[in-house]
Structure 1
């Protein structure tokens, strides 16, 4: 199966910018999206229940309505079947308390969203290359 990445972003403009950057990156994985933490968690829970392929990484915004990225992260870590699923927080926040909170909840990374579109595309390309092409998950290692 082709690896895939779940992008959780409530801002339509940011989501479209990141999707375009993903298309240009040439990374061999598909990008699927969710509009908030509730939608993302429901999807992950269904995938676990149906024993279907999980994303190689979840890239989530921090500040979202209904369920924010920190709560999504907490629930992912509590759900049997997703406890070791890599989750990287993408946020415009540079507040130390936000960064520390996410790492305490088990984030695998915290990336401050760059203001520049080009820097954002470069950051996404680096994340995608690492999580999709370079990193090895336990189920891939014999």
Structure 2
């Protein structure tokens, strides 16, 4: 079980690195004036999203292995809350993918301020999930 837990933590950490950085690229894309820098940033965003999606899948697979295979947190309130916030993280990840498509079509209408606020969502979700796992308040 410790190996499964280790891989779960490693893939979560890697996935979150992407969730933190990709919206930051969107901030820069929303501010970019130069077509060359926009193209460079768009390429970075595409590669990052393509790389972080398998990391998300592996984080979820190892988490489900812990939950279903070992019964970790089964029937406990904190785990149900954690799973709810994981679903929100998946939705956030997919929203990042939709926003990437908007930038690919050069159809962005949002300001860099929107993306700065959007960038804070995974920080808040990470804080909630870690608190639920460590503190287990219910």
* TM-score class normalised by the smaller sequence: 0.3 to 0.5
Report the TM-score when normalising by structure 2: 0.33
Indicate the structure with greater strand content: 1
Which structure dedicates a bigger proportion of its chain to helix? 2
Return the index of the structure with the highest Cα Rg: 2
Higher relative contact order (CA 8 A, sep 6+): 2
